[in-house]
């Protein structure tokens, strides 16, 4: 069964690159351009994993992630940070993978496979 990934990033170039990589490897992909839209889509789409940037408009990635973890129905949703904010932009304290936006496609795919296993 095809896994569904939600990408949340305000940078169109990053969204396009990540989305193409995932689609080439048979993932279904939905996209959001800010944290508020990401939260809304998580509730309506129920993806298998969310990949998000920390630096998002309207609702930051950090706040979005915090809200997901406080939500009973979304608490267990696997998440991956993909950001240019540095190798460890925020210590989420949960073992959440943190990737650079310019990571190799193999690193992205490995993190997604592990998160959705």
Kindly state the average pLDDT of the residues 51-68: 92
Locus of tokens 């073992």: 95
How close are the terminal C-alpha atoms of the chain, in Å? 12
Question: What is the rounded distance in angstroms from the CA atom of residue 20 to the CA atom of residue 93?
Answer: 30
Indicate which CATH number applies to the domain containing 20.
Answer: 3.40.50.2300
Q: Are 92 and 81 in contact (CB under 8 A)?
A: yes
The total of structural domains in the chain comes to: 1
Using the predicted structure, report yes or no on whether residue 116 has a pLDDT greater than 80.
yes
Locus of tokens 């809304």: 40
Kindly state the average pLDDT of the residues 67-86: 88
Q: How many C-beta atoms surround the C-beta of residue 74 within 10 A? A: 16
Using the predicted structure, report yes or no on whether residue 91 has a pLDDT greater than 70.
no
The 8-class DSSP code of residue 88 comes to S
Kindly state the average pLDDT of the residues 43-57: 94
pLDDT at 106: 95
């Amino acid at each position: 069964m095809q896994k569904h990934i939600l990408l949340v990033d305000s940078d169109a170039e990053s969204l396009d690159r990540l989305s193409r990589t995932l689609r080439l490897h048979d993932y279904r992909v939905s996209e959001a351009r800010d944290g508020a839209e990401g939260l809304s889509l998580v509730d309506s789409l129920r993806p298998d994993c969310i990949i998000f940037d920390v630096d998002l408009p309207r609702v930051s990635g950090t706040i979005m992630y915090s809200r997901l973890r406080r939500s009973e129905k979304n608490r267990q949703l696997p998440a991956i940070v993909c950001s240019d904010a540095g190798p460890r932009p925020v210590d989420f304290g949960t073992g959440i993978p943190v990737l650079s936006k310019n990571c190799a496609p193999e690193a992205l795919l490995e993190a997604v496979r592990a998160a959705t296993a």
